Amino acid sequence: MDQRELWEDFYQKNPMAWRGVTDIDVPCSGSALDLGCGNGKTVAALLDAGMETTGVDFSGTAIEKCRRQYPEATFVVCDVSSLPFPDGCFDLVTAIHVLENLDDGKLAKTVQEIRRVLKDDGRLFVRCFTPRDMRAGTSRNGLYYRYFTADELVRLFEGLDALRSSENDEPTRFGTIRSRAECLFRKPSQEADARN
């Protein structure tokens, strides 16, 4: 099975795939795009923050579940490396635990697409597991995973202003570590680029 089929299978077999509430501390308003929205955890947080929210995922199963649960948001089935939106149309893009699932080619295209759809002075919030995470180096049912440090994310989005970057290690009750890198970026305005 290819990655799309594996994720379809995952969402069909796991009606409550991701539990809990996504915490987003992002000073932003207006329109938001959640990449790889899955079951809508981040969409729910963006809606609660009062943002006009769009979620995308290449799993039709995940998108159908989101449409039923969050009718006030817009959902589109698409690959995050080829977004069907015009240039500069979102104030905020969130990529929470989605970049980990992209091979080198799709990752490079996704980074370009994020830059393209983000408005000048817009924000990008990225969260990924780090190489210290308990999941690193384990098999995940054929699903592709990679891990990033905060410094690697900053380099990946070179040209965007890194407003915040951190790594957080959290012990689990099983004696393992949940380790996440988080970065908040700002897209400089083209006027500022022209002056420099």
The residues facing 181 across adjacent strands are 128, 167
Q: What are phi and psi of 66, to 5 degrees?
A: -65, -40
One-letter amino acid of 37: C
The residues facing 95 across adjacent strands are 35, 126
**For 143-150, which contacts have Cβ atoms below 8 Å and span 24 or more sequence positions?**
143/3, 143/6, 143/7, 143/10, 143/101, 144/3, 144/101, 144/102, 144/103, 145/100, 145/101, 146/99, 146/100, 146/101, 146/102, 147/100, 148/99, 148/100, 148/181, 149/181, 150/181, 150/182, 150/183
Could you tell me how many residues make up the chain?
196
Q: Two tokens at 32?
A: 């938001």
pLDDT at 53: 96
pLDDT at 196: 47
C-alpha distances out from residue 7 to 64, 90, 150, Å: 14, 26, 26
Q: For 80, how many CA atoms within 13 A lie in the half-sphere containing its CB?
A: 31
- Find out whether 4 and 81 touch, Cβ atoms under 8 Å: no
**Is the whole model's pTM more than 0.85, yes or no?**
yes
pLDDT at 10: 60
Domains, the chain, ordered by start? 3-12+31-188 (3.40.50.150)
Print pLDDT tens along the chain (196 aa).
576 665 566 666 666 554 545 667 776 789 999 999 988 889 999 999 999 999 999 888 889 999 999 999 999 999 999 999 999 999 999 999 999 989 999 999 999 999 999 999 999 999 999 999 887 876 666 667 889 999 999 999 999 999 999 999 998 888 889 899 999 999 998 744 544 4
C-alpha distances out from residue 60 to 52, 95, 139, Å: 21, 18, 24
- Find out whether 154 and 183 touch, Cβ atoms under 8 Å: yes
Helical H segments across 70-175, by residue range: 104-117, 150-156
